[in-house]
Structure 1
Amino acid sequence: MLFIIPPKVHLLDIIGPAHIFYEAKEYEADIQLHFVTISNDIEINSSAGLHFTKLEPFHTFQLSENDFVFVPGIEFSLISDNQFYLANKPFFEWIKNQYDNGANICSICTGTFLIASSGILNEKSCTTHWKYFSEFNEKYPEIELVKNRLFVAEERLYSSAGVTSGIDLALYVLETEFGSKMAADIAKEVVIYFRRSESDPQLSVFLQYRNHLDTRIHDAQDYIIKHIDSSLALEDIAENVHMSPRNLTRLFKKTTSITIGAYLEKLRLDRAIHLLAEGNKVSYVANQCGLKSSNQLRNLLKKYGEILPAQIKSLL
């Protein structure tokens, strides 16, 4: 496993996945970890100010199909600097050669910009951080950008949305290389009790519809999430935020562009998918989602059947 350390690297992009494979190594997985510079510099300053030192030069490695390279995100000021690409042209040529030799290339966050610059993503699909979709499309129109996905895997090329999704991608790679039990054990070891999959969106519904400044509606959303396992009544929500049900209904829709009922339904769907993916029984999941019966849960899942992961569809 090679972890590329570019200038102004985002710490969690590199440390998160590296720790996953470190733990796997502790579980006796046959893994070697290398931390590699993209230039001749053996000391690199991260975006947060923490220095990496004693790095290995990239050109000392010749890789094959058993090897993985992780390319993390960096500050966008470098991503948009043509001089940065020119100065590191040898690295981009090297990473293309490694891919041509069979190596697996993984990017995290804006690291997708870096591997795209090597040309290996041309005519293929990938993802990157949602904040930079427009810039990526403008810079690399020949690459299919998949939006609202945690990570994308195609022909030994893996790209992820950024930050914690790099950990999800690392667990996915671990599972494909060493099996589901190993991935589950490591997820438990690092206290990640739910592992998100390739089909999960970048922004879960628990984060969506919160891009507003109305504290009363935030309080209402917090109350709904906290009590999602109960049969919520509009009157209870309204009382908690000291509003009338009618005024709350009107203001909630105006502020979030979604009704309270639709919001609650999406929350329950998201939670149900996660709980079912962990292997819980349908009756238990229905109860945890505040639904009256297993049939009510199945009806909810069928309503959104086209977006369900395959493993969940099989339960319908």
Structure 2
Amino acid sequence: MSRSPRKPQIRTRVAFVVYDGVTLLDVSGPLEVLHQAGRYETVLVSPAGGEVTTASGLVLAGTVKRTGRVDTVVVAGADHLVDGVPTEVLAVTEGLAKTAVRVASVCSGAFVLAALGLLDGRQATTHWRHAAALQRQYPKVDVVPDALHVADGRYLTSAGISAGIDLALALVEADHGADLARAVARELVVFMQRPGGQSQFSTAMATPPPRTDLLRTVTEAVVADPAADHSLPRMASYAAVSARHLTRLFQTEFQTTPGRWVERVRLDRAQQLLLDGHSITSAASLSGLGSDETLRRAFAKHLGTTPTDYRRRFQTT
């Protein structure tokens, strides 16, 4: 008895919009994720077809000028898009987006979608360096300046450079489940996976490196265990200095007080705990913020939202 032939696996067709000056990793990062997933057919589409020279000088060969219908469009970014999107890039993106199920951007690729009016009335993000410009140039867009990636309807936008990998992993998860996305992340040796709402920069990363060993000792101790006792006298004891001297060091190097800096580190930790599935009470306790009310006040003060709304908005599997 002969076996019936296996049905060919239907692959999701994804078009990457590329052009001269495009950021290489905005293309290659998401492209590699989809390649490793093994369920996608990808094509590079450029305004003129042929070769495209990236910002780093490497050449992308084999791009096409036109392609048939695609399921997903990904617009890669480039610094020059902030100063104005070329009409030919707008045209190729608009043509692909008309019939696509999903339209995504990496980094400043969001400027292309915004210029087409596709993000009007929607939440979107971009590289932290360009967030203010995106909001200023396109006031109808609700810019989320400090998220790795944001989904609003059929439109997805991500922060800069490596965040395109997180966006692509989210696409794989949405299409084929968390198991495949985790397998791809393991293969690429990347985080599985940074939730969309995770800050592009934690307070520890955004803080400039301390110039003194004394202050470095203090900040490393806080970041290593945010929930520990980090009162001013305790922190001063880490560096064997007076509380007054430690306060002067923080003001001089970070332009803030030790207490405010510790609060932001704890808030970063609480955000991650919530996205990892912890309750509000647990996140407050494990982050060192203490009570539910203290956690709510910190969210309102620094993020302009509540812990519940934050988790609902950004949590992924």
Give the TM-score, by structure 1 length: 0.76
How is 1:179-218 mapped onto 2 (pairs within 5 angstroms)?
179-208=177-206, 210-211=207-208, 214-215=211-212, 217=215
What is the match of residue 141 of structure 1?
139
**Which residue, 63, 68, 75 being the options, matches 1:61?**
68
User: Is 1:160 aligned with 2:154?
Assistant: no
Shift in alpha-carbon separation, 1:263–1:138, aligned structure 2, 3 A? closer
Shift in alpha-carbon separation, 1:146–1:43, aligned structure 2, 3 A? same
* Native 8 Å contact 1:212 1:256 kept in 2: no
User: Is 1:258 aligned with 2:256?
Assistant: yes
Please state how far the C-alpha of 1:311 moved relative to its aligned partner: 6.6
Query: Deviations for 1:70-93, whole angstroms, at most 9, x for unmatched residues?
Result: 1111132x5425xx623x1xx523
Identity %: 26
The residue identity in structure 2 corresponding to 1:92 is: L
* Native 8 Å contact 1:21 1:31 kept in 2: yes
* Native 8 Å contact 1:13 1:73 kept in 2: yes
Please state how far the C-alpha of 1:301 moved relative to its aligned partner: 4.3
2: CA distance between counterparts of 1:134 and 1:312?
21
How is 1:1-316 mapped onto 2 (pairs within 5 angstroms)?
1-25=14-38, 30-40=39-49, 42-57=50-65, 59-63=66-70, 67-76=71-80, 79-81=82-84, 85-86=86-87, 88=88, 91-208=89-206, 210-211=207-208, 214-215=211-212, 217=215, 220-226=218-224, 228=226, 231-232=229-230, 234=232, 237-238=235-236, 241=239, 243-275=241-273, 277-278=275-276, 296=290, 301=295, 303-304=297-298, 306-307=306-307, 309-310=310-311
Please state how far the C-alpha of 1:235 moved relative to its aligned partner: 5.5
Please state how far the C-alpha of 1:298 moved relative to its aligned partner: 6.0
2: CA distance between counterparts of 1:283 and 1:304?
14
Query: Deviations for 1:2-59, whole angstroms, at most 9, x for unmatched residues?
Result: 222221111221121112112211xxxx21122222323x1111111111112222x2
Residue 171 of structure 2 aligns to a residue whose secondary structure is helix
2: CA distance between counterparts of 1:223 and 1:302?
25
2: CA distance between counterparts of 1:299 and 1:151?
28
Tell which deviates more after alignment, 228-237 or 67-76. 228-237
What is the match of residue 6 of structure 2?
none
Please state how far the C-alpha of 1:296 moved relative to its aligned partner: 4.3
2: CA distance between counterparts of 1:268 and 1:244?
23
2: CA distance between counterparts of 1:115 and 1:74?
13
1: CA distance between counterparts of 2:111 and 2:246?
44
1: CA distance between counterparts of 2:232 and 2:19?
51
Query: Deviations for 1:187-233, whole angstroms, at most 9, x for unmatched residues?
Result: 2332233522232233222223x248744645542343245475456
Please state how far the C-alpha of 1:127 moved relative to its aligned partner: 1.9
The residue identity in structure 1 corresponding to 2:113 is: I
Query: Deviations for 1:83-128, whole angstroms, at most 9, x for unmatched residues?
Result: x623x1xx52343243332431111111111222333223433222
Shift in alpha-carbon separation, 1:271–1:188, aligned structure 2, 3 A? farther
Please state how far the C-alpha of 1:156 moved relative to its aligned partner: 0.8
2: CA distance between counterparts of 1:96 and 1:229?
49
Query: Deviations for 1:227-270, whole angstroms, at most 9, x for unmatched residues?
Result: 54754565565465564332112331454343323322332342
Shift in alpha-carbon separation, 1:217–1:47, aligned structure 2, 3 A? farther
The unaligned stretches of length 5 or more in structure 1 are: none
Shift in alpha-carbon separation, 1:160–1:4, aligned structure 2, 3 A? same
The residue identity in structure 1 corresponding to 2:83 is: S
1: CA distance between counterparts of 2:127 and 2:150?
12
* Native 8 Å contact 1:194 1:274 kept in 2: no
Shift in alpha-carbon separation, 1:230–1:188, aligned structure 2, 3 A? farther
Q: Superposition RMSD on alpha carbons, in Å?
A: 3.5
Query: Deviations for 1:255-297, whole angstroms, at most 9, x for unmatched residues?
Result: 43433233223323423443564468999989976x6xxx947
1: CA distance between counterparts of 2:276 and 2:185?
12
* Native 8 Å contact 1:277 1:311 kept in 2: no
In the comparison of the two structures, how many residue pairs are matched?
294
Residue 74 of structure 2 aligns to a residue whose secondary structure is strand
Give the TM-score, by structure 2 length: 0.76
Residue 3 of structure 1 aligns to a residue whose secondary structure is strand
2: CA distance between counterparts of 1:10 and 1:220?
38
